[in-house]
Amino acid sequence: MKVIKAANYVDLSKKAAALIAAQIIRDPSSVLGLATGSTPVGVYSELAELCGQGVIDFACVTTVNLDEYCGLPAEHPQSYAQFMRQKLFDHVNIAKSNTHLPDGMAKDAEVECLRYERLIEGLGGIDLQLLGIGRNGHIGFNEPGESFAPGTHQTGLAKDTLDANSRFFGPGEKVPTQAFSMGIGTIMRARSILLIASGSDKTWALDKTINGPVTPQVPASVLQFHRDVTVIYCD
């Protein structure tokens, strides 16, 4: 694991965007695994800027997102599909047909999870997976538990995650309690992984991820077993 301390959030965003840009320059047909949440917002705006300057070209890039809330249609303001459009896809020259997320409205969860796994497989796997990390050490929506999920699955969100995510929802709006998420196996099959973390509320999770025992109680700790992980963090 390469661990890089950034000076601040802007520096973190620039450094992470530079690594993603390098991946796209090396392979213009890259498959990028993407994350939502507040941490990658700066990275996405840096990527949009690099694209505007002609440094990177998204024309042949494909993206697969980590997760989506169950029960929210793609047009819902709080859906991750909408988040990705607002923060990245609408600002770069990516073909919308090359952007993929689990379908939060899928009727049959099992079929949807299988479809998503097959889709990633069919794309030849993920070249670079961007990850945020939850305060409890979750990645994607792989919450602390008894085992590591091998593939995309439907999962309940931990109380801490619901509390953290409620900030994105208006008063009286219900935070979805279920999501589709890539599994730990899906994430670990990515050829390279870039984990970003900002702020002191992530210190515990980051310390356990880098230095702690590998345990499903801290899902991100499994990244110690991956051969190409870069962690960029700031206080």
Where on the chain is the footprint of ligand F6R (CB under 6 A)?
Answer: 35-39, 66-67, 132-134, 138-140
**Minimum distance between the CB of residue 199 and ligand F6R, rounded to whole angstroms?**
8
46 has catalytic annotation: no
CA distance 88 to 157: 25
SS3 117: helix
**Minimum distance between the CB of residue 34 and ligand F6R, rounded to whole angstroms?**
8
138 has catalytic annotation: yes
Q: Which of 67, 112, 117, 127 is catalytic?
A: 67
> 29: closest CA among 66, 64, 65, 57?
57
93 has catalytic annotation: no
Nearer to ligand F6R, 66 or 229 (CB): 66
**Minimum distance between the CB of residue 91 and ligand F6R, rounded to whole angstroms?**
18
Please say whether the beta carbons of 218 and 208 come within 8 A.
Answer: yes
Indicate the residue whose CB is closest to ligand F6R.
132
142 has catalytic annotation: no
Q: Which of 65, 112, 138, 142 is catalytic?
A: 138
Please say whether the beta carbons of 72 and 78 come within 8 A.
Answer: yes
Catalytic residues: 67, 136, 138, 143
